[in-house]
């Protein structure tokens, strides 16, 4: 049994959450995403990719074709493996070796990562991020990269909705 105070607290918390749900379902990825992310061109040499990671501090960069078509991502894990060759023996497969021989970004990227459309609402993005432990998504519309959205963007947006 709930005491009256507990019941009221829970009731008000539920009301607050449902209000938040409603508010965040009216906000879309396109409203809060980074629309000009730093991108890597598929034909950029690996050396240039390393420079990008050296100069900037993002975890992941989208890889695009010249015409803006989204192809894949390169993240810090790949770069660290390339720089140190320190991968577990289990990963000493020809695929890893092919990556370490690649001269261009397209050879080292992770192809086919999960992407989201710009019209997805904030609640859904938050849910996917929590459920599937994903920290960031590239936002793709008709095969073109239109932005990138990270967990801090989602947190800030939801925090501001609390009023």
Partner 1 sequence: MEFLFQILIILLSARLLSEISERVGMPGILGEILAGILLGIAVLENTDTISSVAQLGVIFLLFIAGYKEVHIEDLKASSKKAIIATIFQILIAFIAGFGLGYYFGLGNLESLVLAVAFSPTSIGVTVKTLLDMDYLSSKPGSMMLSSAIFDDIISIFLVSIVSTMAQYNSIFSPMQFLTMIGKLMVFVGVMYFLARYVLSRLFGHVRKMHARESIFATVILVALFSAYFAEAMGLHAVIGAFVGGVMLSNIPVAKIEDVQSKVSGLAYGMLTPVFFVYIGMSVDPMSLGAAGIFTVLIVILGLLGKLVGGFAGAKTVGFNFYESLIFGAGIMPRAEVTLVTISIGREMGIIGEEIFSAVVLLSAVSIFVAPMLLKFAIQKDKENKSSASG
Minimum distance of partner 1 from residue 101's CB (angstroms): 5
Strand order in the sheet with 70-75: 40-41, 60-64, 70-75, 110-111
DSSP class of 130:
H
Minimum distance of partner 1 from residue 58's CB (angstroms): 17
Minimum distance of partner 1 from residue 69's CB (angstroms): 15
Provide Rg for the chain, Cα atoms. Answer: 20
Minimum distance of partner 1 from residue 131's CB (angstroms): 8
**In terms of C-beta density within 10 A (0-12 exposed, 13-18 middle, 19 or more buried), how is residue 54 classed?**
exposed
Residue placing its CB nearer to partner 1 in the complex, 128 or 161 = 128
Minimum distance of partner 1 from residue 6's CB (angstroms): 27
> Rounded to an integer, what distance in angstroms lies between the CA atom of residue 160 and that of residue 163?
6
Residue placing its CB nearer to partner 1 in the complex, 59 or 156 = 59
Residue placing its CB nearer to partner 1 in the complex, 35 or 98 = 98
Residue placing its CB nearer to partner 1 in the complex, 66 or 112 = 112
Structure tokens at 103: 């001269």
Contacts to partner 1 by CB under 8 A: 85, 89-90, 92-98, 100-101, 111-115, 128, 132-134
Residue placing its CB nearer to partner 1 in the complex, 101 or 155 = 101
> Rounded to an integer, what distance in angstroms lies between the CA atom of residue 85 and that of residue 88?
9
Neighbours of 32 (CB within 10 A): 18
């Amino acid at each position: 049994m709930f005491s009256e105070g507990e019941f009221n607290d829970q009731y008000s918390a539920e009301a607050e959450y449902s209000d938040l749900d409603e508010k965040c379902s009216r906000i879309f990825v396109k409203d809060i995403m980074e629309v000009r992310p730093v991108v890597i061109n598929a034909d950029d040499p690996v050396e240039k990719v390393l420079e990008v990671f050296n100069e900037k501090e993002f975890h992941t960069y989208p890889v695009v074709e010249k015409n803006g078509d989204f192809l894949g991502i390169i993240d810090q894990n790949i770069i660290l493996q390339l720089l140190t060759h320190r991968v577990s023996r289990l990963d000493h497969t020809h695929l890893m070796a092919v990556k370490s021989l690649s001269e261009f970004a397209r050879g080292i990227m992770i192809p086919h990562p999960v992407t989201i459309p710009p019209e997805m609402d904030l609640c859904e993005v938050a849910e996917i991020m929590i459920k599937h432990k994903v920290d960031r998504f590239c936002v793709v519309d008709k095969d073109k990269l239109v932005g990138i959205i990270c967990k801090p963007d989602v947190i800030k947006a939801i925090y501001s909705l609390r009023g």
